[in-house]
Amino acid sequence: MTKNTNGTKTIYLTLIAIAVIIVRYSTSRPNYNSGDRIKITAIVRSEPVNYDNSQYLKLAGLKFYLPLYPGISYGDKVVVEGIVDGDKLSQPALKEIVATKAVIYKTRSKLLEVYNRSLPTNESALVAGVTIGSKSGISSEFWESLRRSGTAHVVVASGMNVTLVAGFLLAMCLSLVKRKNAILIVILGIWIYAVICGFDAPIVRAAIMGSIGFLAQLTGRLNQTIRAVIYSAFIMLFVVPDWIFDVGFILSFTATLSLVVFTKKVKDFVEKIKLINKLPELFKESLITTTSAQIGVIPVLYFTFGSYNPLSIAANVLTLWTIPIITIVGFIGGIFGMLYYPFGQAVLLLIYPLAKYFTGIVGFFG
Is the pLDDT assigned to residue 85 strictly greater than 70? yes
Does one domain contain both 108 and 92? Answer: no
Q: Judging by beta carbons within 10 Å of its beta carbon (0-12, 13-18, 19+), is residue 6 exposed, middle or buried?
A: middle
Q: How confident is the model at residue 346 (pLDDT cuts 50, 70, 90)?
A: very high
Cβ–Cβ under 8 Å, residues 162 and 210: yes
Give me the domain span that covers residue 44: 37-98
Does one domain contain both 46 and 87? Answer: yes
Q: How confident is the model at residue 4 (pLDDT cuts 50, 70, 90)?
A: low
Q: Report the C-alpha gap between 312 and 148 in whole angstroms.
A: 8
Residue 300 within any structural domain of the chain: no
Q: Which of 82, 98, 114 is the last residue of a domain?
A: 98
The mean per-residue pLDDT over the stretch 178-203 comes to 89
The reported pLDDT for the residue numbered 6 is: 63
Is the pLDDT assigned to residue 340 strictly greater than 70? yes
Q: Which range has the top average pLDDT, 4-13, 157-166, 312-321?
A: 312-321
The model scores a pTM over 0.85: no
Does one domain contain both 51 and 92? Answer: yes
The reported pLDDT for the residue numbered 134 is: 85
Residue 48 within any structural domain of the chain: yes
Q: How confident is the model at residue 5 (pLDDT cuts 50, 70, 90)?
A: low
Looking at the structure of the chain, the number of domains it has is: 2
Residue 15 within any structural domain of the chain: no
CA atoms within 13 A on the CB side of 81: 4
Q: Which range has the top average pLDDT, 56-70, 115-129, 271-285?
A: 115-129
Residue 1 within any structural domain of the chain: no
The reported pLDDT for the residue numbered 26 is: 78
The mean per-residue pLDDT over the stretch 169-196 comes to 90
The per-residue pLDDT for range 230-264, each reduced to its tens digit, is 889 889 988 888 888 888 888 888 888 888 888 88
The per-residue pLDDT for range 273-325, each reduced to its tens digit, is 877 777 777 778 888 888 888 888 888 877 776 667 788 888 888 888 898 89
Q: Among 58, 219, 195, 69, which Cα is nearest to 133's? A: 195
Helical packing angle, 281-305 and 312-319, nearest 10°: 140
3-state secondary structure the chain: CCHHHHHHHHHHHHHHHHHHHHHHHHHCCCCCCCCCEEEEEEECCCCCEECCCEEEEEECCEEEEEECCCCCCCCCEEEEEEEEECCEEEEEEEEEEECCCCHHHHHHHHHHHHHHHHCCHHHHHHHHHHHHCCCCCCCHHHHHHHHHHCCHHHHCCCHHHHHHHHHHHHHHHHCCCCHHHHHHHHHHHHHHHHHHHCCCHHHHHHHHHHHHHHHHHHHCCCCCHHHHHHHHHHHHHHHCHHHHHCHHHHHHHHHHHHHHHHHHHHHHHHCCCHHHHCCCHHHHHHHHHHHHHHHHHHHHHHHHHCCCCCCHHHHHHHHHHHHHHHHHHHHHHHHHHHHCHHHHHHHHHCCHHHHHHHHHHHHHHC
CA atoms within 13 A on the CB side of 74: 26
Does one domain contain both 85 and 116? Answer: no
The per-residue pLDDT for range 202-241, each reduced to its tens digit, is 889 989 998 988 888 888 776 678 888 888 988 998 888 8
Does one domain contain both 118 and 86? Answer: no
Residue 234 within any structural domain of the chain: no
Residue 243 within any structural domain of the chain: no
Residue 345 within any structural domain of the chain: yes
